[in-house]
Amino acid sequence: MQCTNCGFQNMPGSEVCGRCSTGLGLATAVVDVNPPRAGSLSKYFRRVLPVRMVYFRTRSALHAENVAARVRHATATLPPRPLILRLIVPGWSHFYIKQPFRGHLFLWGFVACLLPTFLYFGTTWGSIWLGMAFSVHSSAALDIVTQSLPGAGVRDRIVRSIIVSAILGLVLYLPAMWLIGGFAGPHTVQTDLVTFRTGDVLLVNRWEAPRRGEVVLYEFNYNTMLAPGYGERETVQYAGENIDRILAMPGDHVQCNSGRLLINGSPSLWQPLNPRPLPKEISLTVPDDHYLILPSGVPGLAGLQDANLWLSAGNISRADIVGRAYLQIHPLSQFHFIR
Amino acid sequence: MRRFNRLEFADRQEPSQATLEQLSHERAAEHDEHYWIKAATDDRRNGYHESALRHYSRALEMDKSLVAGWVGQVQMLIALAEYPEAELWSRKALELFKNNADLLAVRGQALCRMGDLKNAQASCDAAINQQGSFSIPWIARGELMLARKENIDDYCFDKAVQLDPDWLVLLEIGTIYLHYDRATKALQRIRLAVEKTPDHAYCWYCQGVCELALGLTGPAEKSFNHCLQLMPKHSLALRSLNELKQNRRVLLNFFRRLFRFS
């Protein structure tokens, strides 16, 4: 019996080829001969998203570059731990390794960039100065790393600078920004109000629970139709943010007699930021999960005396309150604590 | 008399569907596996890979020990850009025909198209090490070298052409170059194929595709027209020619010519 694969002449009665192990009874064997086919959709997706190709290429690239050995080499020659920990403050590591000149250069360079950052915090210039401070900081860190790993080529230096900046950003700046954004997040006023103008920058504490008397930033969407007199109709619309004081907490009973505000029967210690346009008569009980914040600073509402309008516009849900606005930092001429 | 079958006579009854099916089965049963292999090869030489794949399957239904059928199936799957299926099918075929050089080579080709160059290299090496002189392992090796951007692809392809001077080998090499966006080299090989068999439509079609890839719309149109003269119902050429006429892409082709690197 001759093998169909290799042509070897086998003994009669053999089931497999003695040379290549091919089955000799293959011609009559029960084997599916129709190949699997790919659908047009899967072919399309394979063409558009060549995942398999990318996987194999990445794998072979990693294998060719011997990444594991490179990582081992890099970690073995990294700066010592005390030096790495001191990278938090630019220049500190340089002082530690007795390089005071560089230390002073980086430290004061960083401070020089950080001060305008705080002065212009929340504005475009503030972001630019913050970027410059970050670049000084990453340069200081890169300088330390380069001193520990000398003799690198241009490509290695570029890669190293990217890695150092990324680590610094992820480890230090991102958590710091998250922290600062929580309790002192800058907020630029977007619309002209009676009390604030467009472009003013306020610091907002988003983590603090709202309390009576605090000035808060909140989302304010209001749309109503008024009928002040016979045959007259007026539509009041407002959508956006507003900043005003919390006058009453959930469940409080509020009365306003001839412009005098009473909370639960006793005179209120707090007034809205712009107390002049208040209506003469108001009486309501603040619903649960709502706060009474009269929108006294909204230009469209400031002149209206309709009590119902004020009551319906003043009940603000807890979800709409962004946070406590406590400091105006821009423009610098109007720097003040908001009370 | 088959030539008079289509004549209409008043008393002639239309054959039922069952009768037609029975006839086709009988006609199919008349042919042996070699007939289907030949039909598959003819389809392949005309660029009808889907049909060729079906014919290879028909041949294998009759005789599963035909290595050429299994190899052809895998090659057609590769030509139809179904690489994972081709790799799977080649593995299955290799279980039946262990260490078959052609099957190892086509498996290497499928792996190469999938991007798994490491295993493709192993498969190609195993194919080359087998006894006998075959052109397919050298084609696969050339493709691997091309994928790895090593400059010995020409040597491998030349070796394949030496072992099998058939024009289809040249055409396959051309399509491999085309797959890796090396249209200039592809055109060189395909022109050789055209010189060898100027009366074969598929060669002209492939030449047109190459010229189109290089942005040479005029010569491409001529090649497609030549292909259609030789085979007026060549669907691929008809489609390409229509696309070419509808969308001339003059500016794009100009820039292609300007920044041609391969």
User: What's the pLDDT at B80?
Assistant: 93
Decide if B123 contacts B102 (C-beta within 8 A): no
Quickly state the pLDDT bin for B2 (edges 50, 70, 90).
low
Size of interface A-B (CB pairs under 8 A): 71
* Cross-chain CB nearest to B82 (options A5, A38, A54): A38
Grade residue A28 by pLDDT with cuts at 50, 70 and 90: low
Opening angle at CA B91, ends B88 and B95, nearest 5: 140
Q: Is the pLDDT of residue B89 over 90?
A: yes
Report the amino acid identity of residue A95: F
The beta-carbon neighbor of A20 closest among B64, B98, B118 is: B98
pLDDT band at residue A49 under the 50/70/90 scheme: confident
Band the pLDDT of A193: cuts 50, 70, 90: confident
- pLDDT per position as a tens digit, A205-214: 998 888 888 8
Please give the Cα distance from A243 to B181 (Å, whole number): 62
Cα angle value B137/B142/B148 (rounded, 5°)? 125
The one-character DSSP state at A151 is: S
pTM for this prediction: 0.54
Whether residues B87 and B39 fall in one domain: yes
Q: Is residue B180 part of a domain?
A: no
Could you give the CA distance from residue B214 to residue B220 in angstroms, rounded to a whole number? 9
Residues B104 and B147 in one domain: yes
Indicate yes or no: CB of A57 within 8 angstroms of CB of B115.
yes
- Residue at B4 is within a domain: no
Query: In this model, does residue A230 exceed pLDDT 60?
Result: no
B153 shares a domain with B47: yes
Residues B67, A4: C-beta atoms closer than 8 Å = yes
pLDDT-derived band at A22, boundaries 50, 70, 90? confident
Inspect the interface and report whether the beta carbons of A43 and B81 lie closer than 8 Å.
yes
Do the chains contact at A56 and B115, CB–CB below 8 Å? yes
Query: What single-letter DSSP state applies at residue A195?
Result: S
B26 found inside a domain: no
* Mean pLDDT score of chain B: 86
Which member of B64, B99, B117 has the closest CB to residue A33? B64
| pLDDT tens, residue by residue, B162-177 | 999 999 999 999 999 9
Cβ contact B230:B199 at 8 Å: yes
Output the six-digit token pair for A163: 């890695």
pLDDT band with cut points at 50, 70 and 90 for residue A65: low
pLDDT of amino acid B96:
86
Does a structural domain hold residue B2?
no
Please check whether residues B148 and B43 belong to one and the same domain: yes
Q: Does B40 share its domain with B92?
A: yes
pLDDT of residue A141: 93
Query: Which pLDDT does position A81 carry in this prediction?
Result: 84
pLDDT of residue A228: 56
Residue B178 covered by a domain? no
CB B105 within 8 A of CB B93: no
CA dist., res. A79 & res. A69, Å (int): 18
CATH classification at residue B118: 1.25.40.10
Residues B151 and B231 in one domain: no
Averaged pLDDT score across all residues of chain A: 83
Phi-psi region of A151 (alpha: psi -120 to 50; beta: other; left: phi over 0): left
Residue B260 falls inside a structural domain: yes
Query: How many angstroms separate the Cα of A171 from the Cα of each of A85, A147, A167, A268, B200?
Result: 12, 22, 6, 47, 67
Instruction: Say if residue B215 is in the same domain as residue B261.
Output: yes
Minimal CA separation from B205 to chain A, in Å:
23
Cα(A186)–Cα(A165) distance, rounded to whole angstroms? 24
Residue contact B97–A5, C-beta within 8 A: yes
Q: Tell which of B164, B198, B218 closes a domain.
A: B164
Q: How far is B230 from chain A (nearest CA, A)?
A: 31
Q: Are residues B237 and B142 in the same domain?
A: no
Domain boundary among B110, B134, B164: B164
Min Cα–Cα distance to chain A from B18, Å: 25
**Cβ B94 vs Cβ B106: under 8 Å:** no
Residue of A5, A27, A28 with shortest CB distance to B100:
A5
Please give the average per-residue pLDDT across A12-26, as a whole number: 75
pLDDT of residue A52: 87
Q: Tell me if A31 and B100 make a contact (CB, 8 A cut-off).
A: no
Domain end among B164, B195, B215: B164
CB-nearest partner of A38 from B63, B85, B131 = B85
**Which span out of A68-72, A251-255, B67-71, B213-217 was modeled with the highest average pLDDT?**
B67-71
CB contact under 8 A, A5 and B66: no
pLDDT score of A46: 87
Instruction: Kindly list the distances between the CA atom of residue A81 and the CA atoms of A68, A84, A166, B171, in Å, as whole numbers in the listed order.
Output: 22, 5, 19, 63
- C-alpha–C-alpha distance, residues B109 and B89, integer Å: 13
List the alpha helices (DSSP H) in chain A. 40-48, 51-65, 67-76, 81-85, 92-96, 100-119, 124-148, 154-168, 174-184, 307-314
The tens digit of pLDDT for each residue in A309-328 reads 777 778 888 888 999 999 99
**Residue B252: both structure tokens together:** 């794009």
Residue B112: predicted pLDDT: 94
Contact A35 B60 (CB under 8 A): no
Cβ distance of A22 and B98 shorter than 8 Å = yes
Q: Do B48 and B122 fall within a single domain?
A: yes
CA distance A237 to A41: 51
**Chain A residues with beta carbon closer than 8 angstroms to that of B52:** none
Model confidence at B262, in pLDDT bands (50, 70, 90)? very low
Query: How far apart are the C-alpha atoms of B207 and B171, rounded to whole Å?
Result: 9
pLDDT score, position B15: 56
B242 domain-assigned: yes
* Tens digit of each residue's pLDDT (9 = 90 or more) over A96-107: 999 999 999 999
B240: in domain: yes
Terminal Cα distance for chain B, rounded: 56
Residues B35 and B156 in one domain: yes
Name the closest residue on chain B to residue A39, using Cα atoms: B82
Question: Considering only CB atoms, which residues of chain B are within 8 Å of chain A?
Answer: 53, 57, 60-61, 63-67, 69, 73-74, 77, 81-82, 84-86, 88-89, 96-100, 114-118, 131
Are B244 and B142 in a shared domain? no
- Report d(CA B25, CA B77) in Å as an integer: 26
DSSP state for residue A9 in the 8-state scheme: B
* Phi, psi of A242, rounded to the nearest 5 degrees: -150, 155
Residue B132 shares a structural domain with residue B214: no
Do the Cβ atoms of B82 and A33 come within 8 Å?
no
Residue contact B114–A52, C-beta within 8 A: yes
What is this model's ipTM? 0.73
Helices (H) and strands (E) in chain A, counts: 10, 12
As for how many domains chain B has, the answer is: 2
pLDDT in tens, B28-46: 666 788 899 999 999 999 8
Range of the domain at B249: 185-262
CA distance B209 to A13: 53
B-chain CB neighbours of A43 within 8 Å are 81-82
